[in-house]
């Protein structure tokens, strides 16, 4: 029997951001639509006497090639290099550097992809496709219409004093950010390249960093062990394994299966008929499994969410505090990341809809201020304003938002301390 080895679940370079991936079949799947929350001036916060002070956007990369392969018993798709050609209008001049201002650090994730060689057809693993480039360019165009044309919130030419940009150190997120910046600022003249920052793999917080946060491992192991207890999960898992000719394995890599199927569908490539008939099952069980791994099951829930997304939420809050206490701050923050960034973030905010985030999905966190210097937070996911769990309204007073996030938010320092402490406790309890 063919043993389909799991591809470093939630690790080894995330298997697509910590591994576990990708896409959702929805009407907004192939192109980023004109989102309704990017409204006209009529009915905006400004009209209600509120001033927009800060915008933070964290988004998932665009469509890409798979980061896995179906077992040999299944027909292999042809991922032609024509699918990954550069889209000319997405090109801009940029320079990638470390968080400390040094050269771009190594990328263990990309190194791991290279070991597998190219897909049939020549395209590499996890490569942003032409479709993905256009999706991200479209997102940049939407941001431009809202924050430059409508709100006049930032200058039409990239201004490093106003805009901060960061990406995970993986080619598809780097290129996705390039495309967003091209859509947002176009070819407008500027002095020198746009500086984009990225973290080393050892210090990355923009995805659940199982590889370097050792405290996550016992929580993930516990969640894996309990998946079969979810109603109907084991039956569906065994059905899929029989279909694929995979030997019994409780840690069946359903994420790799979903990854391949959804990537094929996005790019019009054939899916084996037997698998296509199970598409809804794969989608449901993969999403259910990912949610369990990043948020925990039973008593591990709060700790798992803290380690999966706590530093991201704290980063948002610290940026808001900076915007309150000085006039010299970045007004717009752009973070290029992954689906495994968004799922735990949405769960922590209490707005997860049990659907896998599509390509170019994004969470927008806006901060407003009234005439009395009171601050308010508004969160949007895709085209919809969302009421954060623990907030009394969509427009949430800042202190109320901060209190709602208090059980999840973790400073970077506290995060890494907790990673190591939790691992030490786990080791001691297993002796």
Which active-site residues does the annotation give? 61, 339
C-alpha 312/C-alpha 35 separation (Å) is: 24
Q: How many CA atoms lie within 13 A of 75 on its CB side?
A: 11
Radius of gyration of the CA atoms of the chain, in A = 21
C-alpha 198/C-alpha 95 separation (Å) is: 11
Which residue is listed with tokens 């009421």?
A: 387
Which one, of 141, 307, 136, lies nearest residue 214 by Cα?
307
Residues 372 and 410 sit within 8 Å (Cβ to Cβ):
no
CB atoms within 10 A of CB 416: 19
Strands 362-369, 375-381: parallel, antiparallel or unpaired by DSSP? antiparallel
C-alpha 270/C-alpha 117 separation (Å) is: 22
Inter-axis angle of helices 171-185 and 130-144, nearest 10:
40
Residues comprising the chain, all counted: 431
């Amino acid at each position: 029997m063919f043993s389909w080895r799991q591809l470093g679940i939630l690790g080894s370079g995330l298997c697509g951001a910590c591994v576990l991936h990708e896409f959702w079949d929805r009407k907004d799947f192939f192109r980023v639509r004109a989102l309704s929350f990017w409204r006209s001036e009529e009915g905006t916060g400004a009209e209600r006497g509120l001033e927009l002070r800060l915008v933070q956007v964290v988004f998932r990369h665009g469509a890409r090639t798979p980061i896995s392969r179906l077992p040999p018993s299944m027909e292999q798709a042809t991922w032609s290099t024509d699918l990954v050609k550069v889209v000319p209008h997405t090109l801009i001049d940029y320079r990638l550097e470390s968080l400390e201002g040094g050269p771009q650090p190594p990328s263990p994730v990309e190194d791991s992809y290279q070991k597998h060689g190219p897909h049939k057809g020549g395209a590499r693993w996890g490569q942003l496709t032409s479709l993905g480039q256009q999706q991200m360019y479209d997102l940049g165009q939407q941001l431009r219409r809202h924050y430059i044309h409508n709100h006049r919130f930032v200058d039409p030419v990239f201004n490093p004093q106003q805009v901060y940009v960061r990406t995970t150190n993986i080619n598809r997120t780097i290129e996705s950010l390039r495309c967003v910046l091209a859509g947002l600022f176009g070819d407008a003249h500027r002095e020198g390249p746009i500086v984009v920052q990225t973290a080393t793999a050892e210090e990355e917080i923009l995805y659940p960093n199982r590889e370097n946060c050792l405290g996550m491992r016992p929580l993930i192991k516990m969640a894996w062990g309990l998946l079969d207890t979810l109603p109907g999960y084991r039956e569906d898992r065994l059905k899929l394994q029989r279909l694929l000719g995979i030997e019994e394995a409780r840690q069946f890599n359903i994420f790799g299966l979903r990854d391949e199927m959804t990537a094929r569908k996005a790019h019009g490539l054939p899916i084996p008929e037997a698998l296509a008939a199970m598409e809804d099952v794969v989608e449901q069980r993969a999403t259910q499994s990912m949610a369990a791994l990043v948020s925990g099951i039973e008593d591990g829930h709060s700790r798992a969410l803290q380690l999966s997304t706590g530093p991201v939420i704290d980063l948002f809050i610290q940026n808001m505090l900076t915007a309150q206490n000085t006039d010299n701050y970045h007004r717009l923050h752009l973070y290029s990341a992954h689906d495994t960034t968004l799922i735990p973030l949405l769960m922590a905010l209490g707005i997860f809809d049990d659907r896998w985030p599509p390509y170019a999905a994004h969470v927008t966190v806006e901060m407003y201020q009234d005439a009395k210097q009171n601050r308010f937070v508004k969160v949007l996911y895709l085209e919809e304003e969302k009421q954060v769990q623990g907030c009394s309204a969509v427009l949430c007073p800042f202190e109320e938002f901060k209190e709602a996030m208090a059980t999840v938010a973790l400073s970077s320092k506290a995060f890494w301390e907790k990673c190591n402490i939790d691992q030490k406790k786990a080791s001691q309890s297993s002796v």
